[in-house]
Structure 1
């Protein structure tokens, strides 16, 4: 028997949880929320200290990239959450809105409605902020965001002091418009536990709504399309085919699964679809392109001269955004990011000191110029996608990474950290030349887990979705997730994904 809904929301991750909550606020609408995974059951998900151990478990899609020529021909693991809450059940819980200039490409692509100023009400509407000055922050939203104080590690405090001594502004909070400087990370925690977006937005009272149906363990194979409209989906549940129909459909499957679903449904590059034997309904060559992600170097590791106390938060307690041309710049868009991890953090193949004996400075590039692509290897939805992020494929990215690593080492050797620093373990004191640093970066760069951009929003006819996030070619289907971002924000993208969903949902109610 086919089930029909007014709205079908595909994916119960960060965006899908917000959309299902906001659509079902209207009791006159029937909303179906479709999720490939189940409810979180692993107790480690709730423990903020366990996030590094979550990849590879049963709820991970466990994607892998193609070999990357500029990262020593390595294939990179790309964990993505396959469960209610999606990747917000796996990430490091840092909540960063971004720099106002991050959203200028969005404004250019979608008009003033996608500017930072226009998105601010969505950011604040999502938050329930505590731990500091609440001006400019939301205080009664579903998503708890804390700014820790007493719990911050003394190693991290020394790291921030070193940054201030080098000229970095003492910022205090990443989420008040300015981004450059030192601050503890704002974290999505509730009572010391991880708070996924699903837990925040889809609490038992919301899930009990008569007009909201959550369908777990339903893998979506393709959209059902008749002419210029999507009429429903073909999915599988316990191995059996399931057909669900709807008046309108919102795809919230993320930067990998959303373009893959479009291509399996016949929306994408005609050449790509021909290669996998899928009939092309709408030739949309940009589907799966414009793939962006942040990398971090793992890492600039220091052996400690005294025991490093275990983190009371989630290991990575402070991001430091900087303009490498002027470390004291307060308002410019940052080009690099540093982070202090209260643990040894090294890439595979490098010896890691025991926990409690070392700490790590990570570094990365906030606005990589490299652009990648994701596409299906076959029409079979059970086959993994082909992911090629083109990591470090531009001179800009390689040079900026080298600058970031040099700055991390400068900070790591600052006297403000001398009470903690014994010696540099990685890259090692003798590694100084540009060629040596480039080789180290190539061997140690790892995803920061921020894929986006593969269903780009724009006002041009080649964009995958228009400024209303409607799929070009389909009058009643939308994409609302990280894939629509024209350009990656400076930091972790989950806060922006939640804001996109809040902003889009609010716009539906605006005449």
Structure 2
């Protein structure tokens, strides 16, 4: 089978690419996905999101034991379905601070990645109720700003930050991010909206768009600096697809694994896995980083905590560790309010309705890890080593975030809710040891195919892969440095920008 454009991965980027690129009826587009269209009703129930991980539609990757988190192995949920991880995540829509993207412009050597240049692409995907210069209303992805649905506990939490001097923001998608606000959410009529539902399903009847589900991509066939075919494994047998243009949208884990299985990467890593090197790209799989949250400052509630009407984690407060009077610039720490108990596997789970949790984390971690293959086959598990909390910066910032979480818990605004701290507990003296055991992934891995101006970078600023003439990479793996918040809005903008450049 031959097509004009072959998109590998129907996740958050792939569904947008399929929509935008197939809008040209003269362009034949084929989209390949390992999973299927989601059918589990729990996926679409916003309150169920913490419970749907490790089901068959989750790749459920695992890290190697992490010295920085007390030797623990972390589960990395990644969506194996049409819509990808937008079917598993917490539905936040938060771009990041403008300085995050201006940094991308500097790192890539291309001002087209600056915040102001990306803003039209953010807006083109967004479906806010009201259009403003900073918010789009004509895009396919609904963005809800909760009002009446906000939990009374969360209202008190936001008031607590105001009491401490932190601004109250309408949402976190303005030019300033420091402050507390209800989380903007990708929810419509009480249901999660995935990129598959928003962008792909409405265009499935286009005659020039083919969607192949239940198909794992094994490797790329490479000759003379081009991909000449893509080996696909399906329940009905193996097949080879060919295309003039191949786009990798399999994510921060899937993209480098496919490239390494195909002979692209560090020659030493490939040789150890039994794969001949065809294209040397030593940076592939490196620069891996992720957001973490401490789970958490758990407080006993003075009165029953009713279930969330949204998705439990209803508000984030971004701030500077330099002081609560710093209201401009990029934040470096964050505290979130969860209307439920939330702890790592190291602690017993308190009863729901009797506690609430303040998560705390670092917005711009400096710890960097690496992902590699361990063998040439699909069944060979990857080696994922994010090297969590391996820098003094990250450990210091985590302590500051923990201090702020405890600070807001003690405000007058929270007095009617806070019946005393359960975790870490007033008797806990070794807070670093607590953080190591409490830290969990925020599910935002990036940068294994990071774009850059240098010839050493995996992809160019236009997202074409260095070393293969007809391959591009379009998803979170190209992000060179993580923005301060959840990455999904940025991934959608990346896909929108790339598609707009294809004519």
Within 5 A, what are the aligned runs for 1:101-500? Answer: 101-110=99-108, 111-130=110-129, 134-203=132-201, 205-238=202-235, 240-431=237-428, 433=429, 436-500=430-494
Asked if the contact 1:232–1:249 (Cα under 8 Å) also holds between the matched residues in 2, the reply is no
Gaps of 5+ in 2: none
Counterparts of 2:176 and 2:122 in 1: how far apart (Å)?
Answer: 15
Asked if the contact 2:289–2:445 (Cα under 8 Å) also holds between the matched residues in 1, the reply is yes
Asked if the contact 2:248–2:473 (Cα under 8 Å) also holds between the matched residues in 1, the reply is yes
Residue equivalent to 1:20? 18
TM-score (norm 1): 0.97
| CA shift for structure 1 position 328 | 2.7
Within 5 A, what are the aligned runs for 1:43-54? Answer: 43-54=41-52
2:96 to 98, 101, 105: 98
| CA shift for structure 1 position 239 | 5.7
| CA shift for structure 1 position 382 | 1.4
Which stretch has the larger CA shift, 100-109 or 488-497? 100-109
Asked if the contact 1:255–1:454 (Cα under 8 Å) also holds between the matched residues in 2, the reply is yes
| CA shift for structure 1 position 242 | 1.0
| CA shift for structure 1 position 133 | 7.0
SS at match of 2:405: helix
Counterparts of 1:45 and 1:259 in 2: how far apart (Å)?
Answer: 27
Asked if the contact 1:303–1:353 (Cα under 8 Å) also holds between the matched residues in 2, the reply is no
Counterparts of 1:352 and 1:422 in 2: how far apart (Å)?
Answer: 17
The alignment's C-alpha RMSD in Å is 1.0
Q: Provide Cα deviations, 1:379-415, integer angstroms capped at 9, x if missing partner.
A: 1111211000000000110011011001100111112
Asked if the contact 1:376–1:385 (Cα under 8 Å) also holds between the matched residues in 2, the reply is yes
2:35 is the counterpart of 1:37? yes
Aligned length: 502
Asked if the contact 1:320–1:337 (Cα under 8 Å) also holds between the matched residues in 2, the reply is yes
Which stretch has the larger CA shift, 344-353 or 177-186? 344-353
TM-score (norm 2): 0.99
Asked if the contact 1:169–1:328 (Cα under 8 Å) also holds between the matched residues in 2, the reply is no
Counterparts of 2:102 and 2:381 in 1: how far apart (Å)?
Answer: 34
2:503 is the counterpart of 1:506? no
Counterparts of 1:284 and 1:269 in 2: how far apart (Å)?
Answer: 6
| CA shift for structure 1 position 135 | 4.2
Asked if the contact 2:32–2:211 (Cα under 8 Å) also holds between the matched residues in 1, the reply is yes
Counterparts of 2:4 and 2:287 in 1: how far apart (Å)?
Answer: 32
Q: Provide Cα deviations, 1:326-352, integer angstroms capped at 9, x if missing partner.
A: 223222110001100000111113122
